Structure 1
Amino acid sequence: MEKETERKIIHVDMDAFYASVEQMDYPELKGKPVAVGGNRQRGVVAAASYEARKFGIHSAMPSKIAASKCKDLVFVKPRFERYRELSHQIREIFFRYTDLVEPLSLDEAYLDVTENKMGISTATDIALEIKKAIKDEIGLTASAGVSINKFLAKIASDYRKPNGIFIIKPHQVIPFIEKLPIEKFFGVGKKTAEKMHSLDIKTGADLRNKSIKELIKYFGKQGRYFYSVSRGEDFRKVNPNRIRKSVGAENTFAISLKTKTEIWEALQPIAEKCWKRYKQSDANAHTITLKIKFDDFKQITRSKSYEEAIESANLFDQGLESLMQSFELSQSVRLVGCSLSNFEIEEKVGENGQMTLGF
């Protein structure tokens, strides 16, 4: 196994991607607080411009709450085809430097540049070139994190946003982690952070002082992960063949649905879109999931699994119909969605290079 310090990983994260695309394509939106998704009365914010974030607006926030925080907030409808088009162009820039590119979403990806196609000696120079190419050729800004593994690179990319770069060199890893607030560790949510604070774990140094036995006792399987990353260890490879774990579709309605008949009728085009994506994914799913969000934003999911792969639209339809009968309709519904998951796909992992270069 190659040593951790032999790898050079870049995490590239586009800055407020959806909102920035809208501001680029529609110059009249530049400098204004923009929310992609929803409207002043309904829906959910999919992305917020940096001008909007100053008001405390963020993705997944109910649009009505976002509107109350900023009276000048501009709502725009998402254009996912446009975002996918630009995401593809950005990915082509990545491939100039390495084939080891692992997209996490439309707006972020890991790159392993331990060996690179351009013969550039440092990962930092590659990251700077990529940022410049994205700006010059596409017109958008990106932030980049550079370090020895995925965990550190992803944390680093968030340190100088927007349009920044942050490098954690091999000799800086332990000092950096020791000072890192526990809330900055990926995998530490609000509840986990509260639990850690109750155990007097407030920084990476505090976490590092706990034995693996203690961490497993308090956090179960996740304790092993905390033990490793607190020591700067993350042996996950950049997987260029990363496969999505589910396909789905959903819709938020301008007028709430009040009966199961209305929900079922509204679900039909959503299910059709989901099935089309599933067939294009070349996957074999074993689980169907129905998602319902009520007017008070409470959400329920109901799932049904099968031993055999789901191969017909008729079976998918029957599964959704069965799930529709499995919940009580206590109030009006604002969002309906469905998905297919539990894929039986063998993921292939590319081999990383062995060359050790300057950082």
Structure 2
Amino acid sequence: MINPKARKIIHVDMDAFYASVEMRDNPHYKNIPLAIGGRSERRGVLSTCNYIAREYGVRSAMPSFKAKELCPDLVIIPGRMQHYVEISKKIREIFFRYTDLVEPLSLDEAFLDVSDCTLFQGSATFIAQDIRRAIFDELNLTASAGVANCKFLAKIASDENKPNGQFVIAPAQAAEFIKTLPLKKIPGVGKVTQQKLALKGLFTCRDVQQYQAELLLAEFGKQGERLLAFSRGIDNRPVEPNRERKSLAVEHTFLKDLSNEEQCIKKMAELYNELNRRLEQVLAEKMIVRVGVKVKFSDFTQKTSERKSTELSFSLLEILLHHLLVQNPDKRIRLLGASVGLENRVGQEQYAVQLSFMDKGFS
């Protein structure tokens, strides 16, 4: 059953934010395939790309060399993180005109709880439209929005009519919308989980609704609880304006166990690129204080190694990985993970330290 609590949640997501800023500031970039990221010869990865580039199959988090193979005319430029941060602050100022309950997820997206907003007679649909209008009128950038009575549906809705669009899931429509929703769109359901669910004939929320709850909980544990709730439209998470992120991690479980350090280093390079990409979204307000690596072996034993550091480097990840592997010889590897510990910045002068990572993987 859909949670009957009458909440009005908006998820606002800027359209190809970094690329859109560059196209706005430099008209030469407007009609060409454009990406923000690192050069291919430096094992770079894309932060984002414009919609022209996406027509060629180029995507964020894609290695730069692969993107150039798909789109030889792709122009890749370094990011201007400080500039994006300043624009993000202006976007948040617009959000706060409508509600104090704003939960930023990154520089370019946020949840807003407008349940108590009296503008437009309390219509979340019109409020979302006006937010998008204000962003365009004042910053000459476009945003997409999703409106629903809970966070996970609002986030899914914001992706329905991108770019520069809006999608509303009214409470009376939510139950029907959820039935056909692919499970891959539920937060936390990655490729490995998708494959496990598919083996059990579970592809949509309707499939989960009809599956025995006891079996799902036994087979998937806490993730099963989340699947059950979301597949029934239940998401009671509040919009948290003071949410504090203390760490950021990426990991991957392999369908086939890795057998040697060379294979692990190759996969760790992919995790490093992904973690670097996600770090872009939090370094405006956070600084790195430690770096860690996690390894889960085929016997399901798990080991971690951490070191204090103010920057993320691939060489440090290699050292930590090597340390764990030599301590556990002849074991096959089921999962690899990389993480950073974060603390709030105490001053803008520290921000320059973190901007140096742009020169390592994104310039």
Answer whether TM exceeds 0.5 for this pair. Answer: yes
Query: Contact between 1:302 and 1:326, CA under 8 Å: does it hold in 2?
Result: no
Unaligned runs of 5+ in 2: 250-278, 295-302, 311-315, 327-337, 345-363
Unaligned runs of 5+ in 1: 249-273, 293-300, 314-318, 330-336, 344-359
Amino acid across the alignment from 2:139: I
How far has the Cα of 1:304 moved from its partner? 2.6
Change (3 A) 1:167 1:320: closer
How far has the Cα of 1:120 moved from its partner? 3.7
Change (3 A) 1:201 1:321: closer
Change (3 A) 1:213 1:247: closer
Range that drifts further, 125-134 or 189-198: 189-198
- Cα separation, 1, equivalents of 2:317 and 2:193: 34
1:326 is aligned to: 323
Amino acid across the alignment from 1:69: L
Corresponding residue SS for 2:93: helix
How far has the Cα of 1:322 moved from its partner? 8.5
1:105 is aligned to: 106
Change (3 A) 1:289 1:223: same
- Cα separation, 1, equivalents of 2:287 and 2:160: 37
Corresponding residue SS for 2:41: coil
How far has the Cα of 1:57 moved from its partner? 0.8
CA RMSD of aligned residues (A): 3.2
Change (3 A) 1:193 1:338: closer
Deviations 1:13-63 (A, max 9, x none): 000111111111111000211110112433111111111111111111110
Query: Contact between 2:120 and 2:127, CA under 8 Å: does it hold in 1?
Result: no
- Cα separation, 2, equivalents of 1:99 and 1:69: 43
Q: Identity percentage over the alignment? A: 48
Query: Contact between 1:4 and 1:235, CA under 8 Å: does it hold in 2?
Result: no
Change (3 A) 1:338 1:61: same
Deviations 1:61-109 (A, max 9, x none): 1101111110110011001111111110000000000000000000000
Change (3 A) 1:327 1:342: farther
Change (3 A) 1:302 1:81: farther
Corresponding residue SS for 1:6: coil
Change (3 A) 1:247 1:212: closer
Amino acid across the alignment from 1:80: M
Deviations 1:236-280 (A, max 9, x none): 0000001122379xxxxxxxxxxxxxxxxxxxxxxxxx9xx99x8
How far has the Cα of 1:210 moved from its partner? 1.9
How far has the Cα of 1:148 moved from its partner? 0.2
- Cα separation, 2, equivalents of 1:52 and 1:85: 25
1:134-213 alignment to 2 at 5 Å?
134-213=135-214
Corresponding residue SS for 1:46: strand
Structure with greater proportional helix content: 2
Q: Which has the larger radius of gyration?
A: 1
